[in-house]
Amino acid sequence: MIGVDLAKSVFQLHGASMTGRPKFRKKLSRQGFADFMAKHPPAVVVMEACGSAHYWAREMSRFGHEVKLIAPHYVKPFVKRQKNDAADAEAIVIAAQRPEMRFVEPKSPEQQSRTILFRARERLVHQRTELVNALRACLYEYGHVIPQGIRQLSRIEDILNAPNSDLPELMREECRDLMKQIAEKTVRIDTRTKKIKDLAAEADTARRLQTIPGVGPLTALAVEAFAPSMESFRCGRDFAAWLGLVPRQYSSGGKERLGRVSKAGQSDIRRLLIIGAMSRLNWLGRKSIPEASWLARIAARKPRMLVAIALANKMARTIWAVLAKNEDYRDSAQVAAA
């Protein structure tokens, strides 16, 4: 087993037997690491799931090695005393040899491309939100209070173009420049949104996921890009726990204490599932909720956000079932009626 502490230029290796006996320690350059691993006999190569890890996982597999990626926070408890590259590489091997350790599934080049597309869109949305907030702040300095939301841009434009406006001309010029930047970001966001919808329409997995109520093209592509194979989860609850949609436990002495959701998982899918759940709970989405369903009963007596989290948890379990069984979504009420 070879533990590798990845970096941009210098790679630290820790070789050990499968029983943990140290064999070698090496510090290699980027090219030297590739040459060394290409000539080395097949081994179990373990790396932290960090930047460039999925690329090197594919390269190591091409060289004939068995690759395992491990989450960095699972390695940290095994670092002895001072932190350095050699200690990190050794800790990676020690952690990987634990029989109960969990590993990260390497991503294919197509999966990584879709994650980059998804994150690019998210980055543009954040940048546009920053510009809108800067525009609102400028108007607030002159007594104009604008509510949050991209839909308020038409109201802002009316204020800037009003003939009897009390705003200085220099200030209006700067605000119009911000409006142009926001329009440019919107065009880029729409372009990537269309590309995501096209990809979601082409992939059979994403198409089946969109048969689930509350799951749209963005959520479907996020599941396909970020989530590992559903075979790595024993049941739907394990997938929901991986997303951080289960309560955090503070249990001791046989007493169970459950708190808020753990949020200890994939944040992109979790956020989109909660947004999709909230869309089903608004005044339009409520029309599609059967009166005698569990969702209607819990919505009548619980806060809206709590109901959304519960629904997102159920959606995550449904996603696992749809992908694990390779079937389209079937409404339980319709199945019972049939």
pLDDT at residue 181, as a whole number:
96
Nearest by Cα to 4 from 77, 62, 70: 70
User: At 16, phi and psi to the nearest 5?
Assistant: -150, 155
What span, in angstroms and rounded, lies between the C-alpha atoms of 190 and 124?
A: 10
pLDDT at residue 129, as a whole number:
95
Give 108's DSSP letter.
P
- Alpha helices by DSSP H, listed for 26-108, are 30-39, 53-62, 72-75, 85-96
Provide the whole-model pTM: 0.83
SS3 (DSSP) at 7: coil
Which strand (E) or helix (H) includes residue 103? none
Fold annotation for 2-96: Nucleotidyltransferase; domain 5 (3.30.420)
SS3 (DSSP) at 320: helix
Domain residue spans in the chain?
2-96, 109-202, 205-337
Q: How far apart are the first and last CA of the chain?
A: 55
SS3 (DSSP) at 104: strand
Residue count of the chain: 338
What span, in angstroms and rounded, lies between the C-alpha atoms of 163 and 165?
A: 6
Q: What is the mean pLDDT for each group of 10 consecutive residues in the chain (338 residues)?
A: 93 92 93 94 94 94 95 92 91 93 91 92 96 94 91 91 88 94 96 93 88 91 90 90 87 82 86 91 74 82 89 93 87 50
Nearest by Cα to 218 from 197, 236, 244: 197
Which strand (E) or helix (H) includes residue 197? helix 169-202
- When computed from its CA atoms, the radius of gyration of the chain, rounded to whole angstroms, is 25
Please state, in angstroms and as integers, the Cα–Cα distance from residue 166 to each residue in 137, 172, 306, 333, following that order: 16, 10, 45, 60
What span, in angstroms and rounded, lies between the C-alpha atoms of 313 and 278?
A: 12
pLDDT at residue 333, as a whole number:
53
Phi-psi region of 307 (alpha: psi -120 to 50; beta: other; left: phi over 0): alpha
